[in-house]
């Protein structure tokens, strides 16, 4: 399932028609990167410290969670362009959350040994683009509380803000360039029993409400999703842009590095958003992004993202900012130049393309279809197979050149290359090409040797007599035994 970055309003609507609002009338307009830096450098307002006691009954309700601030210090962030985007709390608080779905209750119980989140916390870091600040200020006013000035209390949070702000800054920045006004609320609570965990309510996610916790094991970071589900009366998010055509020109060097350009044709189908999120492997570095008239476009690649987004998307994303809103149903193109290495050598001349769906700037999920035009250049000693119908293949010195096009829109395009053996099967209406490595990858071969096992018939042993079963892993479904009817979008199939 795709985890879509939510685009929520952070600045007034007037900012959506032009460059984000300057800090003062005399200041020059800020670029998106300058605004991102300003968000990263936000600090707490030492003059907005509120001392809360139990009888004040200050609380927030977001999604299926009730967060109570029982006793302690509540401090607001400094405003940016007149908007407050965060608050912190230190003291004693409590959260109560009960998932509605029985399956989500079971999931929560796997991590907490109970189908309910009922826990005290010692501190809270909260960011938002909704009415949280107005909600809290209203409650504080009704409790007859007035702000105090305490620079020391605010300064104690500086190390925490330096660690947590960057992930939220990019998320909040997106709201400056979208016409959507859907709410976003994020709270990191330091639970007494569990340690820090997250509460997220984001109406632009397919599953708006989330409870979860990040953790690290060695050099790896993981995210445990305790619960994630839809809420009543929250409509499913609608993408503001749809890719209709990809023209990708890729050159692969003998060292397996990739240098490519891509022209993506898009159709605007939203209310005037300016930020577009593409999937692109973190191993590929973007050199430039330009608009339909070769004008340079601002972009963000591999900046910090929220743990919830990282758990689904990884860091494989590219945010592109349009100079102005595009009218609905308008078509336009964006051009990319990028390079890097996504092809690994598994040994024994077996190559592995790691970024299956992100070796080019890809928009949308597998439910969105587009036409593809692929031009490939690769070392002559290798064979390359790609999505679509092969239009042409020829030699060019030490390289080969190939051209593929899809006959009908498909969800994603890909390629593989290696020293392949191949076989073909044809019928009146369809042809099937099967490609297999001539040898097993080094690690797999070593395991088989250590266990005194041998490869099954046809795997790297008899390339002239390959069968469909020869390239299937053990216990995989046998297509020949599956008599279900399948609708195919092409008369030519490559495996």
Residues 6+ apart with CB under 8 A from 252: 258, 343, 376, 377, 378, 379, 417
Q: What does the pLDDT read at residue 320?
A: 95
Q: What does the pLDDT read at residue 451?
A: 65
Is the pLDDT at 201 greater than 60? The verdict is yes
The burial of 486, by beta-carbon neighbours within 10 Å (0-12 exposed, 13-18 middle, 19 or more buried), is given as exposed
* pTM as predicted: 0.75
- From the list 422, 401, 414, the residue with the least C-alpha distance to 470 is 422
| 476 vs 469: CA distance, rounded Å | 9
Q: Which of 338-342, 421-425, 457-461 has the highest mean predicted lDDT (pLDDT)?
A: 338-342
Share of the chain above pLDDT 70, in %: 81
Task: Kindly state the tokens that stand for 378.
Answer: 């690769």
| 468 vs 122: CA distance, rounded Å | 59
Burial 283-320 (b: 16+ CB within 10 A, else e): bbebeebeeeeeeebbbbbbbbbbbbbbbebeebbbbb
Query: What is the mean predicted confidence (pLDDT) over 268-284?
Result: 88
Is the pLDDT at 314 greater than 80? The verdict is no
Band of pLDDT at residue 319, cut at 50, 70 and 90: very high
Is the pLDDT at 486 greater than 80? The verdict is no
Is the pLDDT at 252 greater than 80? The verdict is yes
| 4 vs 398: CA distance, rounded Å | 42
| 215 vs 223: CA distance, rounded Å | 6
Query: What is the mean predicted confidence (pLDDT) over 322-347?
Result: 92
Q: Which of 28-42, 107-121, 172-186, 344-358 has the highest mean predicted lDDT (pLDDT)?
A: 107-121
Is the pLDDT at 246 greater than 50? The verdict is yes
Task: Kindly state the tokens that stand for 18.
Answer: 């032009």
Q: Containing H/E element for 200?
A: strand 195-202
Is the pLDDT at 88 greater than 50? The verdict is yes
Neighbours of 167 (CB within 10 A): 19
Of 462 and 27, which is predicted with more confidence?
27
Q: Are 384 and 376 in contact (CB under 8 A)?
A: yes
Angle between helices 158-174 and 32-40 (to 10 degrees): 150
| 457 vs 227: CA distance, rounded Å | 46
Q: What does the pLDDT read at residue 450?
A: 67
Residues 6+ apart with CB under 8 A from 233: none
């Amino acid at each position: 399932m795709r985890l879509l970055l939510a685009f929520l309003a952070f600045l007034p609507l007037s900012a959506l028609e032009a460059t984000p609002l300057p800090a003062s009338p005399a200041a020059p307009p800020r670029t998106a990167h300058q605004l991102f830096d300003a968000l990263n450098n936000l600090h707490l307002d030492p003059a907005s410290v509120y001392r809360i006691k139990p009888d004040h009954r200050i609380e927030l309700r977001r999604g299926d969670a009730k967060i109570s601030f029982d006793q302690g210090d509540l401090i607001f962030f400094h405003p940016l362009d007149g908007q407050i985007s965060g608050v912190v709390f230190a003291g004693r608080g409590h959260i109560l959350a009960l998932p509605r779905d029985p399956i989500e209750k079971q999931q929560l119980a796997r991590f907490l040994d109970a189908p309910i989140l009922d826990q005290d916390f010692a501190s809270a870091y909260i960011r938002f683009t909704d009415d949280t600040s107005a909600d809290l200020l209203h409650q504080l006013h009704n409790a007859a509380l007035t702000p105090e000035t305490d620079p020391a209390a605010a300064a104690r949070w500086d190390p925490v803000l330096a660690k947590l702000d960057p992930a939220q800054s990019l998320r909040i920045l997106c709201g400056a360039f979208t016409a959507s006004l859907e709410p976003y609320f994020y709270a990191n609570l330091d639970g007494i029993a569990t340690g820090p965990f997250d509460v997220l309510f984001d109406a632009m996610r397919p599953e708006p409400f989330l409870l979860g916790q990040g953790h690290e094991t060695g050099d790896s970071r993981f995210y445990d999703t305790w619960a994630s589900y839809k809420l009543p009366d929250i409509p499913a998010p609608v993408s503001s842009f749809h890719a209709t055509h990809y023209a990708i020109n890729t050159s692969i060097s003998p060292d397996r590095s990739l240098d490519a350009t891509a022209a993506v044709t898009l159709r605007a189908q939203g209310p005037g958003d300016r930020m577009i999120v593409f999937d692109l492997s973190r191993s590929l570095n973007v050199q430039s992004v330009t608009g339909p008239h070769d004008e340079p476009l601002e972009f963000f690649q591999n900046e910090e993202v929220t743990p919830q987004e990282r758990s689904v998307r990884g860091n494989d994303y590219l945010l592109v900012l349009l100079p102005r809103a595009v009218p609905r149903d308008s078509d336009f193109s964006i051009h990319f130049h990028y390079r890097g290495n996504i092809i690994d050598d598994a040994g024994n001349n077996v190559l592995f393309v790691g970024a299956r769906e992100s070796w080019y700037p890809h928009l949308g999920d597998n439910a969105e279809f587009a036409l593809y035009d692929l031009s490939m250049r690769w070392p002559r000693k290798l064979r390359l197979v790609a999505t679509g119908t092969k239009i042409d293949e020829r030699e060019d010195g030490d390289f080969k050149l190939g051209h593929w096009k899809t006959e009908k829109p498909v969800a994603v395009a890909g390629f593989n290359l290696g020293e392949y053996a191949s076989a073909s099967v044809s019928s009146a209406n369809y042809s099937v090409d099967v490609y297999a490595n001539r040898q097993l990858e080094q690690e797999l071969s070593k395991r088989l040797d250590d266990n005194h096992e041998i490869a099954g018939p046809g795997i790297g042993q008899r390339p002239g007599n390959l069968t469909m079963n020869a390239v299937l892993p053990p216990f995989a479904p046998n297509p020949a035994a599956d008599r279900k009817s399948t609708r195919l979008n092409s008369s030519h199939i490559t495996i």
